[in-house]
């Protein structure tokens, strides 16, 4: 994720209409699009292809640049999906280990 964000920053110099950033929220990491200077409201996160703000960003880009943004969006979506799946599996494995330990304790306290 960090590598993709760094690649985006190296590809597009400041000032950018949007940034691709690694965001940590609720124990999870994901890549998000961030815009700054939104009518004094500070930084906002948005979806590039499914929100009005994202559509406005795409519309302001030169036609030669849009495919590059969309390539970064595709990679962002794939990395976020992979991260989400890994986090889900990690939660399930931790839950399994807790239950397995409880089973062992119960078996030790109740020998055959």
Q: How far apart are CA 53 and CA 23, in angstroms?
A: 19
Domain ranges of the chain: 2-109
Condensed to tens digits (0 to 9), the pLDDT of residues 62-107 reads 999 999 999 999 999 999 999 999 999 999 999 999 999 999 999 9
- Token look-up 């992979």 returns 82
pLDDT at 38: 57
pLDDT band (50, 70, 90) for residue 109: very high
Q: Between 28 and 55, name the one with better pLDDT.
A: 55
pLDDT at 39: 52
Q: How far apart are CA 54 and CA 33, in angstroms?
A: 9
Note the pTM of the prediction, 2 decimals: 0.83
Give the chain's end-to-end CA distance (angstroms, integer): 51
């Amino acid at each position: 994720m960090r590598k993709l964000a760094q690649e985006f920053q190296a590809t597009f110099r400041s000032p950018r209409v949007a940034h691709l950033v690694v965001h940590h929220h609720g124990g999870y990491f994901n890549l998000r699009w961030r815009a700054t200077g939104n009518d004094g409201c500070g930084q906002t996160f948005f979806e590039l292809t499914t929100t009005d703000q994202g559509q406005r960003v795409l519309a302001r880009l030169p036609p030669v640049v849009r495919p590059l943004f969309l390539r970064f969006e595709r990679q962002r979506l794939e990395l976020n999906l992979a991260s989400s799946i890994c986090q889900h599996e990690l939660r399930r494995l931790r839950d399994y280990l807790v239950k397995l330990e409880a089973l062992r304790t119960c078996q030790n306290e109740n020998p055959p």
